[in-house]
């Protein structure tokens, strides 16, 4: 199946570059371009793309407002939003996830990583870049009520493989990246992650990341990276 993508960015040069990259993939085609959030919403309703690659800072209507409007429309529930921005701040990450975005990545991402991000979000998974993951964790670790204490005991319900998957998710890796690292199929990885989410009562992948940190399954390294705990 070919994934239909709408590009929303106020810089025509960037839209052109992203279009060339996405159209180069056999399973992805760009069906439209929007120069601001309002046009993105209008074209999403007209074209019904599988994924909208959305910038944040745009004139008239910004990307976060457009994301919220698209995700609130029951007729567009099949469309997923991938935020692609230069500004990977904790506030933007939190706002994007609250608005309903399925992914949040920086514009410094590699070509293949962008293609994989579109595919991952289209499959219904939540994808966060490592920088966005760190921002999210920093924000939620400062909010005690973000993850109820009951989750700590529930880690015991996870199998060793599920615990390993949750720890890898907490580093910001996509299912595709985890599959490559673990020599498993993306389908197998997704099944493990989904079972872990169910057991931990995590409503989405982002909350799974927070639970991993809040329960001590992983910890922030001094250099800002991630240390996995055995």
Residue 141 has pLDDT above 80, yes or no: no
| Segment 150-180, tens digit of pLDDT | 455 678 889 999 999 999 988 878 788 899 9
* CATH number of the domain encompassing residue 201: 3.40.50.2300
* Highest mean pLDDT pick, 27-36, 179-188, 220-229: 27-36
75 domain residue, yes or no: yes
131 domain residue, yes or no: no
> Sheet harboring 80-85: ordered strands across?
28-34, 3-8, 51-54, 80-85, 103-106, 127-128
Mean pLDDT of 18-40: 96
| Segment 118-129, tens digit of pLDDT | 998 888 777 777
198 domain residue, yes or no: yes
Q: Find the domain containing 30 and state its range.
A: 3-124
| Residues 217 and 151 grouped into a single domain | yes
């Amino acid at each position: 199946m070919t994934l239909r993508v709408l590009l929303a960015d106020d810089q025509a040069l960037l839209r052109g570059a992203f279009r060339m990259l996405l159209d180069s993939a056999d399973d992805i085609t760009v069906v439209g371009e929007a120069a601001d959030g309002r046009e993105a919403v209008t074209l999403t309703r007209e074209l019904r793309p599988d994924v909208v690659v959305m910038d944040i800072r745009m004139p008239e209507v910004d990307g976060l407002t457009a994301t919220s409007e698209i995700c609130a429309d029951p007729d567009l529930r099949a469309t997923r939003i991938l935020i692609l921005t230069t500004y990977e701040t904790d506030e933007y990450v939190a706002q994007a996830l609250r608005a309903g975005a399925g992914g949040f990545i920086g514009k410094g991402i590699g070509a293949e990583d962008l293609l994989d991000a579109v595919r991952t979000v289209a499959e219904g998974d939540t994808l966060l870049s490592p920088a966005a993951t760190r921002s999210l964790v920093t924000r939620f670790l400062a909010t005690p009520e973000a993850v109820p204490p009951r989750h700590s005991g529930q880690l015991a319900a996870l199998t060793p493989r599920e615990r390993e998957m949750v720890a890898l998710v907490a580093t910001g890796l996509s299912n595709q990246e985890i599959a490559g690292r673990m020599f498993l199929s993306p389908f197998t990885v997704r099944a493990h992650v989904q079972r872990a989410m169910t057991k931990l009562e995590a409503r989405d992948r982002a909350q799974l990341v927070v639970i991993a940190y809040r329960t001590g399954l992983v910890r922030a390294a001094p250099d800002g990276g991630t240390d996995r705990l055995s």
